[in-house]
Amino acid sequence: MIDAPDDTDFRPEARNPRGFVDRRARDLAAERRILTAVSAVYERYGFELLDTGVFEYADALGKFLPDAERPNEGVFALQDDDDQWMALRYDLTAPLARFAAQNWETLPKPFRRYAFGPVWRNEKPGPARFRQFTQCDADTVGSNRPEADAEIIAMAAEGLEAVGLSQGRAVIKVSNRKLLDGLLVGVGVTAPAQKLIALRAMDKLDRLGLQGVKELLGVGRLDESGDFTKGANLGTAAIDAILKLLSAPADDRGETLNWLSGIGGSDAFAEGLTELGQIDHALKALGVGSDRARFDPSIVRGLEYYTGVVFEADLQIPTVDDKGKPVRFGSVGGGGRYDDLVARFTGEKVPATGFSFGVSRLAAALEAAGAAGQERLRGPIVVIAFNADDMPHYFAVAAELRAAGIAAEVYLGSSGMKAQMKYADRRLSPAAIMLGGDEIAAGTVTLKDLDLGRELAEGVKDNSAWKSERPGQITVPRSALVASVRAILGH
């Protein structure tokens, strides 16, 4: 028999699970600022905050339902003590559908809710693709009126502006799946496989242009690498009709509607066009012009999910990659109408529409747009600890600052003065407080303005002069502690 290794000899490797990242205060502060700003907008529109918890029974997750052989396919699942599979939520919409179905009789209808929190996806991680990330959603459940879609669109536009993407930097592109489905039916494309290839081709308009889409609607396309992608094999008349749809002017919603009205098609196409017209009227009443929300028939989204209006929030500014090359940032959020999700539980169709964005991706978009929060991340005021016997004095200073709403801490390590100042600098502390025996006896405190010190240090040429002058360091009466710290903080 082989003896098991002694546990005391085992040293686990300190490492992150793949697809999971550690985030410190700077990143978390950026996301918190986004959520605070967006939440204020959503609540002004009358949306209620809802938290459904992070686990759902696996059979409530719709198309992400794990099968019996692969219970963790797509989700992170575990079996409860009653043998039921439950999984970490994949998104925030499936939990909303379950909640609405479970509580429908007691909910105000339509039910308007917003939610934010982490979601988990058991997928292969990659660059900027994580297995855990934060989403923020807003949805209206129980209204089939196009005005409900318009309100979500207007709210999404206002939310993006609230976090720093001023008008012109992002636009909500809107379409209706009924236009695409209706047009395909009108030109005789009814086979599911052929229809799917055609829709996927249309979705590549931004990347491939009209010519590339035309090739994919026909026999196929040979890309620059030599790979051939099989096309939808549509006839010339069908391809021409689709290309006309995709060529619609996008700068003015009225012009887009006029263009689309000249295409014609099936009853579904006409219904989709009517809904866009109603959305246009509502957006105008809400003060949302074509510079903030425009109609773009190339928007496809969720081929098996959305049932009507669809929309994407698209970043409209040039950005560069880590090598300085121009790149298109693309979508920072999206949504649309999904009228079949609640029906999975009730058997009855319940209309719903909503918008969702990934908080980390939006933070990255703000950074790329130069619109990230300009506030400087600051640590707490650090009280230097000279002598263990004087700890009560140090803690009294920290308590007074905290009572005044100022973050403060007493250094509780075992290092000397120089190391403590270095600690305060690493904490990005705006100031350090020195309370030695002389200050305690005299009823004073010494404050060192570390922000000013960092600023002045950039131009230092004479270290001896710097040390003798002690820039940014003042001694004040103990009674002036809070006022003096506030002056340093700029309050």
Domain boundary among the residues 347, 368, 389 is at 368
401 and 345 housed in the same domain: no
Structural domain for 118, as ranges: 25-54+89-189+234-368
Count of all residues that appear for the chain in the document:
491
pLDDT at 419: 95
364 and 397 housed in the same domain: no
Mean pLDDT, rounded, for 272-291: 96
* Spatial separation of the C-alpha atoms in residues 103 and 121, rounded to whole Å: 27
Three-state DSSP at 176 gives strand
Position 9 in a domain: no
347 and 472 housed in the same domain: no
Position 10 in a domain: no
Residue 458: how many CA atoms within 13 Å on its side-chain side?
5
Position 214 in a domain: no
Domain count, the chain: 2
pLDDT digits (tens, 9 = 90+) for 167-207: 778 899 999 999 988 988 888 888 888 888 888 888 888 88
Position 70 in a domain: no
Position 158 in a domain: yes
Q: Which of 32, 293, 284, 356 is nearest to 163 (CA)?
A: 32
pLDDT at 171: 93
Q: Where are the alpha helices (DSSP H) in 305-416?
A: 343-346, 359-368, 391-403
Our separate counts of H helices and E strands in the chain read: 17, 20
Beta strands in 207-291 (DSSP E): 220-222, 228-230
* Spatial separation of the C-alpha atoms in residues 114 and 92, rounded to whole Å: 9
8 Å CB contact between 22 and 28: no
321 and 402 housed in the same domain: no
Specify the higher pLDDT residue, 238 or 395. Answer: 395
pLDDT at 411: 96
pLDDT at 466: 41
Q: What is the CATH number of the domain that holds 417?
A: 3.40.50.800
Mean pLDDT, rounded, for 272-283: 97
pLDDT at 475: 95
170 and 263 housed in the same domain: yes
- Is the pLDDT confidence value at 121 over 50? yes
* Spatial separation of the C-alpha atoms in residues 425 and 431, rounded to whole Å: 9
- Is the pLDDT confidence value at 342 over 60? yes
242 and 353 housed in the same domain: yes
pLDDT at 320: 64
35 and 154 housed in the same domain: yes
As a 3-state breakdown, the chain gives helix, strand, coil percent values, each rounded to 5, of 40, 20, 40
Q: What is the CATH number of the domain that holds 134?
A: 3.30.930.10
293 and 404 housed in the same domain: no
Q: How confident is the model at residue 10 (pLDDT cuts 50, 70, 90)?
A: confident
180 and 33 housed in the same domain: yes
From the CB of residue 281, how many other CB atoms can be counted at a distance below 10 Å?
14
Domain boundary among the residues 326, 343, 368 is at 368
117 and 244 housed in the same domain: yes
- Is the pLDDT confidence value at 424 over 90? yes
Q: Which of 289, 360, 369, 377 is nearest to 329 (CA)?
A: 369
pLDDT digits (tens, 9 = 90+) for 19-66: 999 988 888 888 999 999 999 999 999 999 999 999 999 888 866 555
Specify the higher pLDDT residue, 460 or 332. Answer: 332
Three-state DSSP at 370 gives coil
8 Å CB contact between 298 and 254: no
pLDDT digits (tens, 9 = 90+) for 447-466: 999 988 666 655 545 555 54
Domain boundary among the residues 343, 368, 393 is at 368
Q: Which residues pair with 222 in a beta bridge?
A: 228
146 and 245 housed in the same domain: yes
Position 223 in a domain: no
- Which residues, 6 or more positions from 299, have their beta carbon under 8 angstroms from its beta carbon? 173, 174, 175, 310, 311, 312
Contacts 24+ apart (CB under 8 A), 200-205: 200/300, 200/303, 201/231, 201/232, 202/242, 202/246, 202/298, 202/300, 203/298, 203/300, 205/246, 205/298
Mean pLDDT, rounded, for 378-398: 95
* Spatial separation of the C-alpha atoms in residues 80 and 59, rounded to whole Å: 13
Q: Which two tokens stand for residue 462?
A: 């004479």
395 and 451 housed in the same domain: yes
Position 205 in a domain: no
Position 226 in a domain: no
Measured CA to CA in angstroms, residue 405 lies from 56, 400, 487 at distances of 40, 9, 14
Measured CA to CA in angstroms, residue 386 lies from 319, 410, 477 at distances of 50, 11, 19
